[in-house]
Amino acid sequence: MVASVPWAEPGSRFTRDFEAECAWLMTVANQKTVSGFLHVSWRTAGAVARRVAERVKASMPSPFDGLTAIGVDETSHRKGHTYLTVVVDHERHRVIWAHDGVGGDVFDLFFKALTPEQHASIRVVTGDGARWIDPCVGRWRPNAERVLDGFHIVSWMTDALDKVRKRLWNQARRDGDEKTTKRMRGVKYAVLKNPGDLTDRQSEAFGNLRNTGPKGQLYRSWQLKELLRTLLKHPLEQARGELRHWVFRASHSVLLQCLFDRFGSVFP
């Protein structure tokens, strides 16, 4: 005779509380450690965690429902030897999909997992300048807006800023300007930081850049990078006006030329 009880699941030799504890421990420790702590076999601990995950998944709504703005990026683990493609839901601020590998074929798998209704709700896709993103979005969501995400934009601007520093450093070395050469070398790491992360010494070094080099180019380029970084956090209407002002200033700066010299291929 088989009876249903509220404290266990069909086919399991363990109580719900025990399985819940095992699954939770598996989120903070490896499988071998959990099996030893709970006095179960290595395979049993894994099977329990999978059962709990399936129950939780079945009780939750699909993470693909109601998507409006998604972001895609690749990341690496195991010291950079293994790559993952990750998709996030910007509205709910959570990861909704990940898969081994990188490229258009992998990103296609995400769209294949969606229903027609889930496809139709996606209006915005963010990502970096990887060449495989646009063709994939064009195949599956041709009407969605493709947006370069703020993180990579600021990262590119920081790289361009360092290129400005190197250009001015090399020019100072050719001209025999030892004072400028020393200052450009002294801010090598400071230009890669946000203002709040600068040490007192680095802040002082930046202050000395106002009148260093041709027309203080490095300092003005750093200001442009910071203006862009902060305006991306502002409300849309405020950011739109600030961006027009930023573009006007940047169009007269060496920073924008350095940006396009190195990263122009990612822009339309």
pLDDT for 119-169, tens place per residue?
999 999 999 888 899 999 999 999 999 988 888 888 888 888 888 888 888
As a whole number of angstroms, the distance between CA 185 and CA 177 comes to 12
Does the pLDDT at position 63 exceed 80?
yes
Asked if residue 33 belongs to a domain, the reply is yes
Asked if residue 125 belongs to a domain, the reply is yes
- Tell me which of 4 and 171 has the higher pLDDT: 171
In this predicted structure, what is the pLDDT of residue 81?
Answer: 72
Q: Per the structure block, which two tokens stand in for 142?
A: 């041709």
Weakest-pLDDT range from 32-36, 90-94, 245-249: 245-249
Range of the domain at 42: 16-59
Q: Are residues 82 and 114 in the same domain?
A: yes
In this predicted structure, what is the pLDDT of residue 267?
Answer: 45
In this predicted structure, what is the pLDDT of residue 71?
Answer: 94
Query: What 3-state class would DSSP assign to 76?
Result: strand
Q: Are residues 163 and 248 in the same domain?
A: yes
Measure CA 264 to chain center.
Answer: 20
How confident is the model over 236-245, as pLDDT tens digits?
Answer: 888 888 888 8
Structural domain count, the chain: 3
Asked if residue 115 belongs to a domain, the reply is yes
- Tell me which of 75 and 124 has the higher pLDDT: 124
Does the pLDDT at position 185 exceed 90?
no
Q: Are residues 77 and 117 in the same domain?
A: yes
The CA-atom distances, in angstroms, between 7 and each of 70, 165, 168, 187 are 39, 66, 71, 63
In this predicted structure, what is the pLDDT of residue 124?
Answer: 95
- Tell me which of 262 and 43 has the higher pLDDT: 43
Q: Are residues 136 and 80 in the same domain?
A: yes
Q: Compute how many other C-beta atoms are within 10 angstroms of the C-beta atom of residue 186.
A: 15
In this predicted structure, what is the pLDDT of residue 211?
Answer: 61
Asked if residue 52 belongs to a domain, the reply is yes
Asked if residue 8 belongs to a domain, the reply is no
Asked if residue 10 belongs to a domain, the reply is no
Of all residues in the chain, what percent carry a pLDDT higher than 70? 89
Q: Are residues 169 and 253 in the same domain?
A: yes
In this predicted structure, what is the pLDDT of residue 123?
Answer: 95
The residue out of 116, 148, 180 marking a domain boundary is 148
Indicate the average pLDDT of the chain: 84
Q: Are residues 240 and 251 in the same domain?
A: yes
Asked if residue 104 belongs to a domain, the reply is yes
Alpha-carbon torsion (228, 231, 233, 235), positive or negative: negative
Q: Are residues 175 and 258 in the same domain?
A: yes
How confident is the model over 193-233, as pLDDT tens digits?
Answer: 877 787 887 777 766 666 655 557 788 888 888 888 888 88
Q: Are residues 85 and 109 in the same domain?
A: yes
The residue out of 148, 176, 204 marking a domain boundary is 148
The residue out of 79, 114, 148 marking a domain boundary is 148
In this predicted structure, what is the pLDDT of residue 258?
Answer: 65
Q: Are residues 188 and 252 in the same domain?
A: yes
Q: Are residues 103 and 23 in the same domain?
A: no
pTM of the model: 0.64
Asked if residue 3 belongs to a domain, the reply is no
As a whole number of angstroms, the distance between CA 72 and CA 141 comes to 14
Q: Are residues 260 and 156 in the same domain?
A: yes
- β strands within the chain, DSSP E: 69-77, 82-89, 94-100, 124-127, 145-148
Find where tokens 């020393």 sit: 182
Burial of 60 (0-12, 13-18, 19+ CB in 10 A): exposed
In this predicted structure, what is the pLDDT of residue 80?
Answer: 61
Q: Are residues 84 and 190 in the same domain?
A: no
Quick one: pLDDT band at residue 110, thresholds 50, 70, 90? very high
Rg, the chain, Cα only: 26
